[in-house]
Amino acid sequence: MKSFDYAEPRTETEVLALLSEHAGRAEVLAGGTDLVGLMKKMIVTPDLVVNIMEVDSLQSIGPMADGSFSIGAAVTLDDLLAHPYLENYPAISDAILGINSMQLQAQGTLGGELCQRPRCWFFRDGQSLLDHDRHVTDGDNRLQAILGNEGLAKFVSSSRIGPALVALDARLRIIGPGSEQRLLSVADFFVTPRHADQRETVLGPDQLLTHIILPPRTSSFNATYEVRHGEGPEYPLAAAAVSLEISSSGRVEDAMVVLGHVAPTPWISHEAAQTLVGSSVSESIAESAGDAALLQATPLSENEYKVQLARVAVKRAILRAAGFETGGF
């Protein structure tokens, strides 16, 4: 690990001052479940590490005046999971529980979970994240993308909670130099990098994600479903998060279906949503939505199996959100 300077600011303003002064040469540290490993492998080599866990405003959880729910970026996943308000957002709790690691849930933060770097084994082994020399196309691409992989980005977004936040239409508060402050949808936060110097989110080197804002909820028809190797803390092979608006007559009035771990960003499937709207949820409708979600899939040489797993994830997420038992294929 390369030597580095270390700072523990106490306010958001102090964090921004450090990031601006060392723009491009600093990394933000929260739980450290991702950054420390990247630094040990010399994949990232910052001159300065800025620990944000002493900034009180980033660890707040509470309702807002308009009924929204604000979560500080440095709130741990365990603390979030224990909050009673999360009962309205089972898609988020499903994703957190899927991590299935006491250490990662106790130490990891919500902001860090969204900002983690890809788990692509080529990238983690020190190779380029992008497929400039076809090391992904011609190599072991079992865990790579099956959607949105037409360009050089073949990796999958590693965020487990990102798809749920997209499905729930959550927003992010991002601050920057001076008085810069903006609210951004989670869907617009994730990007597919086009060159080696671009990361997987819109967050600039002198900007800070401070809060995640959940919209007011009047119903709890949302869920996440992951397809994994087993019950350990392994990352899913495919996942889906679903949010449904269901009328008193039982018909779906609106739907959002978001796939995870199958594309470089959380993948919104308008086709799956269109299949659901106007229908009552049933196993056959959920299966049709799963088929529709994967119509654009372009698997690589060794990951065609993920297409069926993603179909299953969509189907099971829909059934779980609607209150049906899930299990099996």
* pLDDT tens digits for range 244-254: 999 999 999 99
295 burial type by CB count under 10 A (0-12 exposed, 13-18 middle, 19+ buried): exposed
What is the spatial distance between Cα 259 and Cα 267, in angstroms, rounded to a whole number?
5
User: Which pLDDT does position 316 carry in this prediction?
Assistant: 97
**Nearest residue to 329 (alpha-carbon basis) of 316, 318, 320, 319:** 316
Contact assessment for residue 314 and residue 272, using Cβ atoms and an 8 Å cutoff:
yes
What is the spatial distance between Cα 321 and Cα 272, in angstroms, rounded to a whole number?
14
Is 22 contained in some domain?
A: no
What is the spatial distance between Cα 150 and Cα 127, in angstroms, rounded to a whole number?
20
Q: How many domains does the chain have?
A: 1
What is the spatial distance between Cα 171 and Cα 217, in angstroms, rounded to a whole number?
14
CATH number at residue 143: 3.30.390.50
Query: Using one digit for the tens of pLDDT, what is the confidence trace for 270-321?
Result: 999 999 999 999 999 999 999 999 999 999 999 999 999 999 999 999 999 9
Is 8 contained in some domain?
A: no
Query: Using one digit for the tens of pLDDT, what is the confidence trace for 137-147?
Result: 999 999 999 99
Is 101 contained in some domain?
A: yes
Give Rg (Cα) of the chain.
19
Is 25 contained in some domain?
A: no
Is 152 contained in some domain?
A: yes
User: Which pLDDT does position 101 carry in this prediction?
Assistant: 86
**Bridge-partner residues for 185, per DSSP?**
171
Contact assessment for residue 239 and residue 258, using Cβ atoms and an 8 Å cutoff:
no
Task: Average the pLDDT over 162-167 and give the result.
Answer: 98
Task: Average the pLDDT over 63-82 and give the result.
Answer: 96
Is 28 contained in some domain?
A: no
- Residue 211 domain boundaries: 56-324
Contact assessment for residue 60 and residue 80, using Cβ atoms and an 8 Å cutoff:
no
Q: Report residue 10 CA to chain centroid gap.
A: 27
Is 158 contained in some domain?
A: yes
**Nearest residue to 32 (alpha-carbon basis) of 102, 100, 108:** 108
Confidence of residue 234 (pLDDT cuts 50, 70, 90): confident
Least confident of 38-47, 100-109, 111-120, 217-226: 217-226
Is 200 contained in some domain?
A: yes
pLDDT at residue 327 above 70? no
What average pLDDT is seen over the chain? 94
Angle (deg, nearest 10), helices 283-293 and 305-321: 140
In percent, how much of the chain has pLDDT > 70?
A: 97
User: Which pLDDT does position 326 carry in this prediction?
Assistant: 60
User: Which pLDDT does position 305 carry in this prediction?
Assistant: 98
Confidence of residue 178 (pLDDT cuts 50, 70, 90): confident
3-state secondary structure of 252: strand
In one-letter notation, the amino acid at residue 40 is: K
